[in-house]
Amino acid sequence: MPRPRKTPVLEEYRLRSIREAAVRVIAREGVAGATMQRIADEAGVAKGTLYLYFKDRDALVASLGDIAIDELLARIEAIFATKKPFAAQLRELVETDLRFFDENTQLFRLYHDMVERNRGPRAHRECHPSFLRYMTVMTSVLARAMRRREIRRRDPERLALFIAEGIVTIVVRRLSEEKSPPIRKDAELIAGTILHGIHLERSRN
């Protein structure tokens, strides 16, 4: 009896099921417990089936991380599409970033470890399509805020990189901590420092 044909819809369904199972296992079991066997068991497929779609666990984690980052980027673009002042947009951006990574801590711990082992996080970010798209959007938003005289005139591309790296640094620290400060506290640290600096003006008598 001939085997049923694999249709694109069936393939997409199976791939989505594997990814969803992987997210559940990673969230439940953490870095050490998220093996290909456990992911296969969760998805209800043979372990070998996973290798039809992903070379190894790193490839699966990379796929999950890329999808999640694209989702985050869509949220960020929605924030910048509003007519709010730049300061309000920046605070919302930072809080959205921190909350997103907090909600997906186990996945991004795995993702970060994988990137660090393979290429190094900075090298990975700077050539990743989502990061390049983020930089394009952020540079455009900063340039617009400068034209509106909401912020000082600076090189918008370099300023975008400065802001992005600052946010990433705090995100990575939070991923490695057992207990992080409240999201709003770290968000205000980042946004407040970017908007107001750290120099304390003293009145002269």
Q: Say which CATH number the domain at 173 has.
A: 1.10.357.10
Pair (72, 143) in one structural domain: yes
Shared domain for 31 and 113, answered yes or no, is: no
Q: For residues 150 and 189, give the distance between their C-alpha atoms in angstroms, rounded to a whole number.
A: 20
Q: Which domain holds residue 30?
A: 1-54
In a domain, 34, yes or no: yes
Domain shared by 108 and 12, yes or no: no
Query: What's residue 205's pLDDT?
Result: 54
Q: Give the chain's domain count.
A: 2
Instruction: Please check whether residues 183 and 114 belong to one and the same domain.
Output: yes
Q: Is residue 204 part of a domain?
A: no
Q: 104 and 146 in one domain?
A: yes
Q: What is the pTM of this model?
A: 0.82
* Non-local CB neighbours of 92 within 8 Å, separated by 6+ positions: 79, 84
132-185 residue pLDDT tens: 889 999 999 999 999 999 999 999 999 999 999 999 999 999 998 989 999 999
Q: Who's near 174: CB < 8 A, 6+ residues apart?
A: 98, 101, 102, 105, 180, 186
24 and 86 share a domain? no
Distance from CA of residue 135 to its chain's centroid? 13
Do 28 and 97 lie in a common domain?
no
Q: Which ranges of the chain have pLDDT less than 50?
A: 1-4
Residue 68 shares a structural domain with residue 44:
no
Nearest Cα residue to 164 out of 123, 134, 184, 204: 134
Work out the angle between the directed axes of helices 105-118 and 8-33 (0-180°, nearest 10): 90
